[in-house]
Structure 1
Amino acid sequence: MPNMPVRIDWPSKLQHLLQTALFCIAIAGVQIAFTPQRPYGPPVVYSLLIGVTIWAVIDLGRHLIPSSRETGWPPGLSGAALVAAGIVLGYFVGNKIGDAICKTFGLFPGGVMVHSEADLRSGVLITLLAGVAGSYWFYSRNKSGYLLERMREAERHATEARLKLLESQLEPHMMFNTLANLRALIAVDPGQAQVMLDHMIAYLRATLDASRSTTHPLQVEFNRLRDYLELMAIRMGPRLSYTLALPEDLAEAPVPTLLLQPLVENSIQHGLEPKVAGGRIAVSARRDGDRIVLEVDDTGVGSESGGAGGPGFGLEQVRQRLASLYGERGRLDFDASREGAHARIVLPLA
């Protein structure tokens, strides 16, 4: 669909002008190579003036005409007419100014300008071919840039959709477990059930807020993790203890939503719950140069399972999210031994 003219990007126009000038110099070099006996100055002057005039008429003039969003150029006959006008004006205006410059500075031998019929024919042909080729090149670049931007936009949407899908696969598992525990607790300890319900409401509120974006401040992630651990502590009683360590300078650092819970849930389900005496979970964050290091340690049985939906699922979910958002700059390391398990996330500090 054609759009009305938009604001001109002058740095981009300067880049186009320099590219046009280099193209014109290359054309002049080819002319000089075929006629080495003739003076070098005039071909460069005429080529630059004709080329720059064509560029100015077409690349600047296209913003005065409604243009296509996909290419930035006038569609159909209006675009062809603009190119034709640019070539015609470029030839006559460029030659006129070139004549004046060559005469003023005596660039022809003896100060006499001679334009044979062969020169005129070759000049028209070169101008026509160069004008069409240059216009098509800029047209193709604009269209390729638009398509590339659309592709990047589609990739961003696909990544966001994938991350939301991965997150949604975790939520029902945690919710069903919590509701089952809450139902059992209501009958035996209403007071604790009320506390558990309060934490659950806080957790759900934070989850709803997080669902509106793919990232949020690290402080929010720790707050939601605290609500989750409080829910688990009510269920497990003295068998579960935990610590959360977040430096103040990292509180506002953006991180993916629901990043740490799969790791903590893995520690509880496959590390602490199978252990009769239970254990401790320690979650911490620290800065390492231009990176954030997030660590989850537990003193459980050291299982290498993944939690949240089956063996390996929680860990794999975190790895996929890091790869989708950060590529090779984000990673998850996991180690398990008889003393417990250690998960370590490294991601860039925005």
Structure 2
Amino acid sequence: MTPDTLPRFRAENFRNMLRHGLITVAFCCVIGTGLSISGNGTWASQMVYSLSIGTISWLVIDSGRLMLSGHKEVLWPKGLWGYGLVALGVTVGFFVGNAIGDAFVGAPPLEFRSFAARKTASTIVITLAATIGMCYFFFSLGKSRHMQSQLDVAQREATEARLKLLETQLEPHMLFNTLANLRVLITLDPPRAVAMLDRLNSYLRVTLSGSRTLAHPLSAEFDRLGDYLELMSVRMGERLRYTLDLPEDLRDIPVPPLLLQPLVENSIRHGLEPKVEGGEIAVRARRNGDRLVIEVNDTGVGLDAALPPDGGSGFGLEQVRERLATVYGAHSEMRLAAAPAGGACAMLSFPLPMAAP
């Protein structure tokens, strides 16, 4: 929905109006108390005058700005319309508010006309200063809120662009590794190469048929991971065994796409392939309080033997770290550890969405 088609009387606008009204009432109470202390009348009468003038000015100006700019994102009329609205609010608030105050104290309507010029001028100056000051405060507050929303949009778009970039780096990485393995298999075992090519074709069709999104259900991530492991099973045969454990209550949790595949790919490439008899990969998701924990365990050669000679953690693992940091910031965690029974364990942990049961 574009800013020009936003509902005029949406709940957010009414919440802002109510907030402005409460601030106006508090400000009027301060003015009324100050005037009564200075000896300009009783506290009750000054409060009635102050609240009447202030709240009526607020109602005129706040409802007027919604009528003039309610479909826009910045809820303040531009140019002369804005100045005219303030002038109208001050005028209506001054006259109607004074009439209400006069009625409360039992004075003739609009008694201020019989006041000395100095007292009348002071009343007008206080009304003008208070109304204009509050209007400027509310305008600055709204402008700050609008700029913050624009900043949030820009940050969200930057995050989306970064996630897209990371995903475009991960997919070719996986594809190139698969094609390299397929090239070897064509020479050694053509029938298995054909089966692997069919799996690859199915995997790519599923991957490319859906629109690219910044998040998808954890069940979709596990399904995609199952396709990938089936693809690898064609090449490795009985040397690769795997289990995928996803509790039913976690299936709809949104996660970034391609979050788990680099971890599994790392386990196969650096853990199971160097081991003659192969091994098993187990991917499990579980809830730990208000956090989601996903573990990728393998029974490969172990963490020390699996790490690259330069001590790095590999391209795929670095990309997973970056994706977690981009989406969840400092609230995410990724750990690599040696499994007690041999092999390695990669653990991801990040907050569950607030709406998750």
TM-score after normalising by structure 2? 0.86
Counterpart residue identity of residue 167, structure 2? E
How far apart are 1:209 and its partner, in Å? 5.2
How far apart are 1:302 and its partner, in Å? 2.2
Counterpart residue identity of residue 12, structure 1? N
Residues 6/286 of structure 1: CA separation in 2 closer, same or farther (3 Å cut): closer
- Written as runs of structure 1 = structure 2, the 5 A alignment for 1:1-350 is 6-8=7-9, 9-35=13-39, 38-66=41-69, 69=72, 71-103=74-106, 115-208=115-208, 212-303=212-303, 305=307, 311-336=313-338, 339-350=342-353
Give the Cα–Cα distance (whole angstroms) in 2 for the partners of residues 243 and 165 of structure 1. Answer: 30
Residues 207/131 of structure 1: CA separation in 2 closer, same or farther (3 Å cut): same
Give the Cα–Cα distance (whole angstroms) in 1 for the partners of residues 70 and 293 of structure 2. Answer: 49
How far apart are 1:192 and its partner, in Å? 2.0
CA RMSD of aligned residues (A): 2.8
How far apart are 1:22 and its partner, in Å? 0.7
Please state whether the residue corresponding to 1:334 is helix, strand or coil: strand
Residues 145/306 of structure 1: CA separation in 2 closer, same or farther (3 Å cut): farther
Residues 128-162 of structure 1 deviation map (CA, whole Å, 9 limit, x = unaligned)? 11111111111111111111111111111111111
Q: Is the CA contact 2:6–2:72 (under 8 Å) kept in the aligned structure 1? A: no
Please state whether the residue corresponding to 2:275 is helix, strand or coil: coil
Query: Where does the alignment leave 5 or more consecutive residues of structure 2 unmatched?
Result: 108-112
How far apart are 1:21 and its partner, in Å? 0.7
Counterpart residue identity of residue 37, structure 2? A
Please state whether the residue corresponding to 1:243 is helix, strand or coil: strand
How far apart are 1:83 and its partner, in Å? 0.7
Residues 69-114 of structure 1 deviation map (CA, whole Å, 9 limit, x = unaligned)? 453111011111111111111111111111112218xxxxxxxx98
| Identity of matched residues, % | 52
Residues 150-195 of structure 1 deviation map (CA, whole Å, 9 limit, x = unaligned)? 1111111111111111121111121112123223434544432232
How far apart are 1:341 and its partner, in Å? 0.9
How far apart are 1:210 and its partner, in Å? 6.1
Give the Cα–Cα distance (whole angstroms) in 1 for the partners of residues 5 and 189 of structure 2. Answer: 68
How far apart are 1:42 and its partner, in Å? 1.6
Give the Cα–Cα distance (whole angstroms) in 1 for the partners of residues 168 and 4 of structure 2. Answer: 40
How far apart are 1:229 and its partner, in Å? 1.4
Residues 4/288 of structure 1: CA separation in 2 closer, same or farther (3 Å cut): closer
Residues 243-286 of structure 1 deviation map (CA, whole Å, 9 limit, x = unaligned)? 11122232222221111011111112222222333222111112
Please state whether the residue corresponding to 2:106 is helix, strand or coil: helix
Residues 223/17 of structure 1: CA separation in 2 closer, same or farther (3 Å cut): same
Residues 247/74 of structure 1: CA separation in 2 closer, same or farther (3 Å cut): same
Give the Cα–Cα distance (whole angstroms) in 2 for the partners of residues 306 and 131 of structure 1. Answer: 69
Q: Which moved more, 1:237-246 or 1:155-164?
A: 237-246
Please state whether the residue corresponding to 1:346 is helix, strand or coil: strand
Counterpart residue identity of residue 322, structure 1? L
Please state whether the residue corresponding to 2:8 is helix, strand or coil: coil
How far apart are 1:123 and its partner, in Å? 0.8
Aligned residues: 340
Query: Where does the alignment leave 5 or more consecutive residues of structure 1 unmatched?
Result: 105-112
